[in-house]
Amino acid sequence: MSKDKDDLLARAVENDTNYKDRATLIRSNDEIDAKFGFVRYTGIQEKKGFLINIQPSELVDEQTKVIVSVVDYFFISDMDERFKISYPFRPYFYIATLDGFEFQVSSYLSKKYGAQAAVEHMDKEDLDLVSIQKPPIRAQKTYIKLSFVSTVEMMKTRKDIMPLVRKNTERIKKESAYADYLARNLGGGTSDGKERLDGDILSQIVDIREYDVPFHMRVSIDEKIFVGLWYDVKGVGPNRVPVIKRKDLAFFHAKPKVLAFDIETTKLPLKFPDRESDEIMMISYMVDGQGFLIINREIVSADINAFEYTPKAEYKGEFVVWNEKDETALIRKFFDHFLQVRPNIVVTYNGDFFDWPFVEARAKIRGFNMEREIGFSKDSADEYKSRNCIHMDAFRWVKRDSYLPVGSQNLKAVTKAKLRYDPVEVEPELMCKMAREQPQQLANYSVSDAVSTYYLYMKYVHQFIFALCTIIPLGADDVLRKGSGTLCEALLMVEAFHNNIVFPNKYTGPEEARFSKDGHRVESETYVGGHVEALEAGVFRADIPAKFRLKPEALQQLKDEVDETLRKELVREFGVSLDQVVDFEQQCEEVKSAFDGLLAAPTRLENPRIYHLDVGAMYPNIILTNRLQVRFCFLNFLWWKIRGKSRI
């Protein structure tokens, strides 16, 4: 038996030149996950778990020793138990051929890629086939599905096929144009497709679909496994594949461990902090409402004792303080406590740009590898992420979802607008001086940012992002960072797959050359957009009267609901009960009298107050994208025969 396993391993290594590197990465990932309590569960006993995160990964198949693609699903339980499930899945894409050549092409592909790809035929509904010249039926096309043991093999095959598709598409366009020219000018017709083709099987491949769907997204779409929901899980099922079954616990909320941190650094006068020369002097963070502060005593002149920073009654902040001798000890303490706490979610404010890069650089200088220590590293998009721990940069939520003006998106302004208190503010040029002369005041400032970040996340971001995760097949990291158009696409892709619709390829722009107004060829065009522009000065003037036509019935409804509306807002926005308000009835009467004035004269000429109510910001993204957009809308079709022709 041992000899058979050795033979299988030798064969797997021979067939994959990167086998050892991939196997090493698998072991490294398992070690990091184990540090945070996520050990792969392979038992047959059913467990209940809340899905907190998903990551694409790989695994060595125990029977064949071949490396296969899996998705690691990370679960937590209500008893603080943690485990992960590695769900194997064959990545795939579709290719399309000219009509009638599906079997010839699939036979050829089976011979060429048979060792690494499975070939099968799939009938999928294709929105490109819908045309106003045809009855509005659901048009289907036969696609060839190529599935692989891992994404590595899929990428290799895709690399072979993509140039063929581009080449064949161009050839067919030219042939069609020439045939149309003959038909118009010489009375000729198009010849049969089989006669035109040169006999090369590969020249029949004319399209490739769903090749760009991320693997973990692909699995979540196909299997309907979404973050933010409860599941009954078995490590292995009847078919040697894990079983993940949705459990209806909508009102039973999981309690992931949340850590929000912020750092304070030294800096030279009138300079930005430099990772190579400046040091971290304080790290403040909150873990599930409990505060911690680590001090670099080499910079800060005195020990800091435990203290409390509670800006409002609902935002408590009691801080434990550790005074460490230097930056090396500070970083070591932070990493050690990080692993002791084992957070599921790490929250920062602009941490992708400042906090994480600074900690990583200073850790490297002090002899630590941050990725090896706590699993966080920079990805290809310059974002700091971990396999099992989510990084929620609250600044991303502010930019995309808060609708605060661009000039009011710094943490202090957001705290005032959303948490409704005035945070501690310190001039950056005075911070190093305060570390020497007023260390306690600097400590108060440091923890104020951690408190703001933590409660901003808990009040606004957490429920919002995880609610989206329950319908969008992405992890919380991606749901937070992706644009609203991408999220709409993901939602549409779920519905398309389960309605047997093949995904259209993304629109890549016109292929013909474009020219500027003065005749110059445009090589590339920069996309301008992606955010809501402020109104231009002078478009509307607050000192020029404008005509308004108000709806009396709507005004009357608002007047009738004044008491209830004000009561709800007092509780929701300010946390104030009615027994604390001395003039509630008087204020309500003032508002009602204002409505009476509007009702008396619903047609008005007044100086306007300008508000930007962008209630449809998400929908233009759906319109602009070319994914899953129905090419034509058919409503109330009537078909009849006129002289042998079908007409609408």
What DSSP line would sit under 532-554, residue for residue? PPPPPBTTB-TTS-EEEE--HHH
Residues in Cβ contact with 198 at an 8 Å cutoff, skipping those fewer than 6 apart = none
Bridge partners (DSSP) of residue 231 are 49, 246
Type of residue found at 423:
P
Nearest to 62 by CA among 18, 13, 5, 14: 5
Q: How far apart are CA 176 and CA 129, in angstroms?
A: 17
Check residue 140 and give its pLDDT: 86
Query: By C-alpha distance, which of 473, 470, 46 is closest to 243?
Result: 46
Question: 3-state DSSP call for residue 283?
Answer: strand
pLDDT in tens, 293-306: 999 999 999 999 99
Q: At 619, which amino acid appears?
A: Y
Residues sharing a CB contact under 8 Å with residue 270, sequence separation 6 or more, in sequence order: 429
**DSSP alpha helix (H) spans, 186-311:** 193-196, 215-223
pLDDT tens, 493-515?
999 999 999 998 876 655 555 66
Question: Given this model, what pLDDT does residue 239 score?
Answer: 85
Partnered with residue 540 across adjacent β-strands are: 537
Structure tokens at 497: 């797959």
Query: Model's pTM, two decimal places?
Result: 0.79
Q: Is 335 helix (H, G, I), strand (E, B) or coil?
A: helix
Q: Which segments of the chain belong to CATH 3.30.420.10?
A: 258-470
d(Cα 486, Cα 482) in Å, to the nearest integer?
6
Hey, is 259 helix, strand or coil?
strand
Q: Is 472 helix (H, G, I), strand (E, B) or coil?
A: coil
Tens of pLDDT, residues 55-95? 999 999 888 889 999 999 999 998 889 999 999 999 999 99
> What's 190's DSSP letter?
P
Q: What is the DSSP letter of 629?
A: -
Strands 280-287 and 92-97: unpaired
Strands 140-148 and 280-287: unpaired
Name residue 59's beta-bridge partners. 68
**Encoding tokens for residue 206?**
């004319």
Output DSSP code: residue 302.
S
Distances (CA, A) of 212 to 91, 151, 217, 391: 11, 11, 10, 25
Report the alpha-carbon distance of residue 530 to residue 49 in Å, rounded. Answer: 37
Rounded Cα distance between 152 and 67, Å, is 10
**What's residue 484's pLDDT?**
84
Name the CATH code of domain 258-470 (choices 3.40.50.10540, 3.30.420.10, 3.40.50.11540, 3.10.690.10).
3.30.420.10
Rounded Cα distance between 611 and 122, Å, is 52
pLDDT in tens, 140-189: 889 999 999 999 999 999 999 999 998 988 888 887 766 665 665 555 54
Predicted local distance difference test score (pLDDT) of residue 374: 96
Q: What is the residue whose two structure tokens read 């749901």?
A: 479
Task: Please give the Cα distance from 467 to 450 (Å, whole number).
Answer: 24
| Phi, psi for residue 639 in degrees, rounded to 5 | -115, 135
Q: Provide the angle, in degrees to the nearest 10, between the axes of the packed helices 552-560 and 584-600.
A: 170
Contact predicate 356/376, CB 8 Å: yes
The single-letter DSSP state of residue 268 is -
Residues in Cβ contact with 199 at an 8 Å cutoff, skipping those fewer than 6 apart: none
Query: Measured on CA atoms in the order 406, 410, 412, 418, is the torsion positive or negative?
Result: positive
The CATH number assigned to the domain with range 2-90+217-247 reads 2.40.50
Distance, CA of 440 to CA of 436 (rounded, Å): 10
Beta strands 290-296 and 318-324 are: parallel
Nearest to 551 by CA among 611, 604, 609, 594: 604
Q: Which residues of the chain have pLDDT under 50?
A: 132-134, 189-198, 529, 532-538, 613-648
Where along the chain do the CATH 2.40.50 domains lie? Answer: 2-90+217-247
pLDDT confidence of residue 606: 86
Say what the pLDDT of residue 71 is: 97
Provide the pLDDT for residue 200.
Answer: 78
Contact 376, 393 (CB under 8 A): no
DSSP string computed for 39-101: PBP--SS-EEEEEEEEEEEEEE-TTT--EEEEEEEEEE-TTS-EEEEEEE---EEEEEESTT-
